[in-house]
């Protein structure tokens, strides 16, 4: 078995198909690439009729030949396959085991019949080897063979129009022209004799077969001649046998070369199962299997494609530009390879399998594509955010700019997705684009909301600043004008800030409703600032009331501190101060931002200040307490800062805490009055003047009385000073009497003692004079000392008035 013809046993003597052998053979002769341009030739004929010898000479094969010296017996077991040498196109040659059934049984499943049927199904040209001397003979060796051939032919539903080339061996001197008609007659007779199915009852032989005849000289006797006939004439007929006009020019139902292996296996399988062969169905079946195989190969080659693997790897991490173009070309290559390999298979099968292949490949590519789009989306989103945020810090938020920015990046996405688009399929990136758009919009919205709240907060702070302190000041000096003034202030400031916000909002392009909402929120904020300030002030109302009371009470109209001299009308002052405090309470009792008129002040003044009015002492009115309620009339709950009941208790506390100031003032006034009123009342003075006129005159007339009166006055004055009577009587009459009575005796004793001291005085100057006579400076010193000691003594007994008593 040489290398050049790759001879292989296709089916062994036991009928086992050599699959691996055939596949190897196909690889070696590169049959897969042949497409339809290949031919299959097989040979049948009686045992040891020189079939192998003929094939070997004709095609340069190396089928085993029987040794001429060992006699004629079976040499070729099963079916052998080889490639014809130097014949175009690729021609496969099959050598069949003896087909005359001489050594095997005659039944339908006999190997001869099976191999004959196989040869007919597979081959384009069947050589039928016969001895020349058998022609026209009734008992010819090839008769049963032909019968077999024709019989099995019926089992192929649609004949392949196989060429039957009768090779007449050992030709005699009778020329072929004479032999051929006899042979054809023989063949026709056999054909006619073969039982045919109903459909083919009238079908002529020529419908199934091309019959050709050739005669060869004996190989054994005229070898040279045989060789010459084979090599130079017969061989030439096999060149380009499949071309029109060639030996197999009108063959039908060719299976593409790449399907040869599968096809022949299937044939053999069906033949062995003794089933009929449906060629068209077989063709489709082979095409289906082969196209699928080719498709799978292409899928495998795609997944193994290095470029694709690199792409797939790279795509895991980031967007890869040029994806669409590259992938399209890889897919294109795969598909066109499929097209090339499957081109000779049944068109319907081929196209449907191509579609399957395409969708399989696209399924492989799709995850990568989606991933790529995902990368593109995140990438674009990031870039958008960056650019948008940059513009934001530079120019602030503007809806139009945001829209433009979004548009730009959506276009960028479009470009990217176009780049990723695969030519073979129209995948829609709009879902991803929509998601991107949504993400962008969400980002813009979040930024917008942040900016909006920032803006609103800014304006709110501005409004707070404009309102808080002025409102506090206004509430501090609560009066009837307070709330109108606050209202005016609120209106003015709110208007200014609202218009500011309104113009700032224009860049946001908000819809009317939400803009209104924001403006209303700002307005409400203004109100709430005022309200909270009012609440704060209301919390401090007691201190404020007391402050106001004490300011009004202890300071006069020129805000100079009052001195309670006794001329002041404390009651009136108290009332004024209290009613001013009550006004403060009334002002802070409710928020009056809307011009609702209420009668809080009236109610309060009626209930709290004017209680002393004669009318109110009426029992029927007193039994109804206007403050015994938790809400004010015509004032909603949320506008109430201090409820009537609270007012009442506040007022009670206020009164209790200011009571002391008033009492103090009254006491001070009383004291002052007493201090200034120690003279007897005027009527007493008049009575004294009238009744004491004669005594007065007597005194004036008698100077002695005058002296006595003077002495009495001096003594009285001394008592006055010593007992500090004026001070004692400031504490009240009775305590003064008690205190004086205890002091009286010691004071007399004191005065007497002092008088006694004065009596001894003349002795002292005497001593002094004696001392002056001594020649020292001590006199001046002792003078100082005596003056000092006398001074100390006087101080002990009252500083101002001691010396007059001493005198
Ligand atoms: N008479 C005669 N014998 C031949 C011819 N060709 C081959 N032989 C002989 O026939 C015998 C069988 O040859 P082989 O090719 O093995 O026959 P196969 O069994 O049909 O393949 C061999 O001994 C050959 O020498 C021929 O043309 N004429
Ligand atoms: Mg042989």
- 422, 369 Cβ separation under 8 angstroms: yes
Q: CA-to-CA distance for 633 and 475, rounded, in angstroms?
A: 22
The DSSP annotation for 736-758 comes to HHHHHHHHHHHHHHHHHHHHHHH
Q: What percent of the chain has pLDDT over 90?
A: 30
The confidence score (pLDDT) of residue 70 equals: 55
Range from 44-48, 564-568, 616-620, 787-791 carrying the lowest mean pLDDT: 787-791
pLDDT band of 796, cuts 50, 70, 90: very low
Taking 80 as the threshold, does the pLDDT of residue 148 lie above it? no
Q: CA-to-CA distance for 144 and 162, rounded, in angstroms?
A: 19
Q: What is the pLDDT of residues 88-146, one digit of tens each?
A: 889 999 998 655 544 444 554 577 778 888 888 899 999 999 888 888 877 776 777 77
Q: What is the pLDDT of residues 68-91, one digit of tens each?
A: 555 545 555 689 999 999 998 899
- Rounded to an integer, the average pLDDT of 410-422 is 92
The confidence score (pLDDT) of residue 200 equals: 79
Q: Is 398 left (phi over 0), alpha (psi -120 to 50) or beta?
A: beta
Residues of the chain with CATH 3.40.50.300: 8-277
The confidence score (pLDDT) of residue 785 equals: 40
Closest C-alpha to ligand 1, atom 22: 68
For residue 512, count other CB atoms closer than 10 A to its CB. Answer: 7
The confidence score (pLDDT) of residue 607 equals: 81
Q: CA-to-CA distance for 593 and 398, rounded, in angstroms?
A: 36
Mean pLDDT of all residues belonging to the chain = 83
Look up residue 640 and give its DSSP letter: B
User: What is the rounded end-to-end Cα distance, in angstroms, of the chain?
Assistant: 180
The confidence score (pLDDT) of residue 99 equals: 53
The confidence score (pLDDT) of residue 684 equals: 86
Q: CA-to-CA distance for 198 and 418, rounded, in angstroms?
A: 64
- Rounded to an integer, the average pLDDT of 454-467 is 91
Taking 80 as the threshold, does the pLDDT of residue 369 lie above it? yes
The confidence score (pLDDT) of residue 219 equals: 92
pLDDT band of 292, cuts 50, 70, 90: very high
Range from 294-308, 424-438, 557-571 carrying the lowest mean pLDDT: 557-571
- 421, 427 Cβ separation under 8 angstroms: yes
Range from 75-84, 158-167, 362-371, 394-403 carrying the lowest mean pLDDT: 75-84
Which two tokens mark 92?
A: 């496969």
The confidence score (pLDDT) of residue 618 equals: 45
Q: How far is CA 493 from CA 303, 343, 462, 591, 726, in A?
A: 74, 88, 9, 18, 65
Who wins on pLDDT, 772 or 635? Answer: 635
Closest C-alpha to ligand 1, atom 23: 68
Ligand 1: which of 42, 47, 53, 142 to mutate, most ligand atoms within 8 Å of CB?
53
User: Residue 795 phi/psi, 5° resolution?
Assistant: -60, -35
Ligand 1: which of 57, 220, 222 to mutate, most ligand atoms within 8 Å of CB?
220
Q: What is the pLDDT of residues 724-760, one digit of tens each?
A: 777 777 777 777 788 888 888 888 888 788 888 877 7
The secondary element (H helix, E strand) that includes residue 39 is: strand 38-44
The answer to whether the annotation marks 48 as part of a ligand binding site is yes
Instruction: Say if ligand 1 is within 6 A of residue 282 CB.
Output: no
Radius of gyration for the chain, computed over Cα atoms and rounded to the nearest angstrom: 72
How many angstroms does the Cα of residue 73 sit away from the middle of ligand 2?
A: 9
Angle at 734 between CA 730 and CA 740, to 5 degrees: 75
Q: What percent of the chain has pLDDT over 70?
A: 87
Q: CA-to-CA distance for 359 and 335, rounded, in angstroms?
A: 11
Q: What is the pLDDT of residues 621-670, one digit of tens each?
A: 445 677 888 888 888 888 888 888 888 899 999 989 888 888 888 888 88
Q: What is the dihedral of CA 551, 556, 562, 568, to 10 degrees?
A: -120
- Rounded to an integer, the average pLDDT of 370-386 is 93
3-state DSSP of 684-739: HHHHHHHHCHHHHHHHHHCHHHHHHHHHHHHHHHHHHHHHCHHHHHHCCHHHHHHH
Range from 85-99, 281-295, 691-705, 769-783 carrying the lowest mean pLDDT: 769-783
The confidence score (pLDDT) of residue 350 equals: 92
Task: Give the atom of ligand 1 at the shortest distance from the alpha carbon of 218.
Answer: 27
- Rounded to an integer, the average pLDDT of 350-359 is 93
| CATH 3.40.50.300 for the 8-277 domain, yes or no | yes
Taking 70 as the threshold, does the pLDDT of residue 3 lie above it? no
The answer to whether the annotation marks 136 as part of a ligand binding site is no
- Rounded to an integer, the average pLDDT of 10-36 is 90
Look up residue 607 and give its DSSP letter: I
- 464, 438 Cβ separation under 8 angstroms: no
Three-state secondary structure call for residue 644:
helix
Taking 90 as the threshold, does the pLDDT of residue 443 lie above it? yes
Closest C-alpha to ligand 1, atom 24: 68
- 442, 346 Cβ separation under 8 angstroms: no
The confidence score (pLDDT) of residue 704 equals: 82
Taking 60 as the threshold, does the pLDDT of residue 775 lie above it? no
3-state DSSP of 305-363: CHHHHHHHHHHHHCCCCCHHHHHHHHHHHHHHHHHHHHCCCCHHHHHHHHHHHHHHHHH
Instruction: Say if ligand 1 is within 6 A of residue 170 CB.
Output: yes
- Rounded to an integer, the average pLDDT of 258-286 is 87
Q: How far is CA 266 from CA 125, 150, 634, 649, in A?
A: 20, 21, 106, 114
Strand-strand pairing, 79-83 and 90-96: antiparallel
Instruction: Say if ligand 1 is within 6 A of residue 155 CB.
Output: no
The confidence score (pLDDT) of residue 507 equals: 85
Instruction: Say if ligand 1 is within 6 A of residue 51 CB.
Output: yes
pLDDT band of 699, cuts 50, 70, 90: confident
* Confidence (pTM): 0.63
The answer to whether the annotation marks 45 as part of a ligand binding site is yes
Q: What is the pLDDT of residues 312-338, one digit of tens each?
A: 899 898 888 888 999 999 999 999 999
């Amino acid at each position: 078995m040489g290398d050049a013809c790759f001879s292989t046993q296709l089916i062994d003597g036991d009928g086992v198909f050599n699959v691996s052998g055939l596949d190897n053979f196909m690889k070696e002769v590169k049959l897969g690439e042949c497409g339809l341009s290949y031919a299959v030739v097989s040979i049948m004929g009686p045992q040891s009729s020189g079939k192998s010898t003929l094939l070997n000479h004709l095609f340069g094969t190396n089928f085993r030949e029987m040794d001429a010296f060992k006699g004629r017996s079976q040499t070729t077991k099963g079916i052998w396959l080889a490639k014809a040498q130097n014949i175009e196109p690729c021609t496969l040659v099959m050598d069949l085991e003896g087909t005359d059934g001489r050594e095997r049984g005659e039944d339908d499943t006999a190997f001869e019949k099976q191999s004959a049927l196989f040869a007919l199904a597979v081959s384009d040209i069947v050589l039928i080897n016969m001895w020349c001397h058998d022609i026209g003979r009734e008992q010819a060796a090839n008769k049963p063979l032909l019968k077999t051939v024709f019989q099995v032919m019926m089992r192929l539903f649609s004949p392949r129009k196989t060429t039957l080339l009768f090779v007449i061996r050992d030709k005699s001197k009778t020329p072929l022209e004479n032999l051929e008609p006899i042979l054809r007659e023989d063949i026709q007779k056999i054909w006619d004799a073969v039982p045919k199915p109903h459909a083919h009852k009238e079908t002529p032989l020529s419908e199934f077969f091309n019959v050709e005849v050739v005669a060869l000289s004996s190989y054994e006797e005229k070898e040279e001649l045989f060789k010459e006939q084979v090599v130079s004439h017969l061989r030439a007929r096999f060149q380009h046998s499949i071309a029109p006009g060639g030996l197999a020019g009108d063959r039908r139902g060719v299976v593409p070369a790449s399907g040869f292996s599968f096809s022949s296996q299937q044939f053999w399988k069906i033949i062995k199962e003794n089933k009929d062969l449906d060629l068209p169905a077989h063709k489709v079946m082979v095409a289906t299997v082969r196209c699928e195989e080719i498709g799978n190969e292409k899928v495998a080659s795609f997944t193994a494609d290095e470029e694709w693997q690199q792409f797939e790897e790279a795509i895991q991490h980031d967007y890869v530009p040029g994806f669409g173009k590259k992938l399209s070309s890889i897919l294109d290559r795969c598909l066109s390879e499929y097209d090339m390999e499957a081109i000779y298979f049944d068109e319907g099968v081929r196209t449907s399998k191509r579609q399957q292949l395409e969708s399989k490949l696209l399924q492989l590519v799709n995850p990568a594509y989606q991933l790529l789009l995902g990368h593109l989306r995140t990438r674009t989103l990031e870039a958008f955010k960056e650019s948008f945020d940059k513009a934001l810090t530079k120019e602030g938020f503007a809806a139009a700019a945001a829209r433009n920015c979004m548009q730009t990046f959506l276009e960028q996405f479009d470009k990217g997705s176009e780049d990723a688009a695969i030519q073979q399929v129209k995948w829609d990136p709009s879902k991803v684009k929509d998601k991107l758009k949504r993400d962008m919009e969400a980002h813009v919205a979040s930024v917008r909301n942040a900016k909006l709240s920032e803006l609103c907060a800014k304006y709110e702070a501005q409004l707070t600043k404009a309102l808080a302190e002025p409102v506090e000041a206004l509430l501090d000096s609560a009066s009837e004008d307070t709330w109108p003034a606050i209202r005016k202030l609120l209106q003015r400031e709110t208007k200014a800030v609202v218009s500011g916000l309104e113009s700032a909002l224009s860049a946001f392009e908000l819809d009317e409703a939400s803009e209104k909402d924001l403006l209303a929120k700002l307005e409400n904020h203004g109100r709430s600032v005022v309200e909270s300030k009012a609440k704060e002030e209301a919390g401090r109302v007691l201190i404020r009331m007391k402050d106001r009371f004490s300011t009004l009470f202890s300071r006069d109209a020129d805000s100079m501190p009052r001195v309670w001299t006794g001329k002041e009308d404390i009651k009136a002052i108290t009332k004024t101060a209290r009613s001013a405090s009550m006004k403060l309470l009334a002002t802070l009792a409710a928020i009056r931002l809307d011009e609702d008129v209420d009668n809080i002040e009236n109610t309060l003044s009626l209930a709290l200040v004017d209680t002393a009015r004669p009318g109110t002492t009426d029992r029927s009115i007193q039994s109804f307490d206007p403050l015994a309620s938790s809400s004010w009339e015509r004032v909603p709950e949320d506008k109430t800062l201090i409820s009537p009941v609270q007012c009442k208790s506040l007022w009670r506390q206020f009164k209790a805490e200011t009571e002391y100031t008033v009492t103090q003032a009254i006491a001070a006034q009383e004291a002052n009055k007493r201090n200034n009123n120690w003279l007897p009342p005027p009527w007493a003075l008049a009575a004294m003047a009238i009744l004491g006129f004669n005594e007065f005159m007597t005194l004036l007339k008698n100077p002695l009385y005058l002296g006595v009166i003077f002495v009495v006055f001096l003594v009285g004055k001394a008592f006055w000073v010593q007992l500090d009577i004026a001070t004692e009587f400031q504490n009240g009459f009775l305590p003064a009497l008690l205190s004086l009575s205890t002091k009286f005796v010691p004071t007399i004793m004191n005065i007497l003692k002092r008088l006694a001291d004065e009596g001894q005085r003349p002795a002292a100057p005497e001593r002094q004079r004696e001392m002056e006579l001594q020649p020292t400076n001590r006199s001046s010193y002792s003078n100082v000392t005596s003056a000092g000691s006398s001074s100390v003594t006087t101080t002990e007994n009252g500083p101002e008035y001691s010396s007059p008593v001493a005198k």
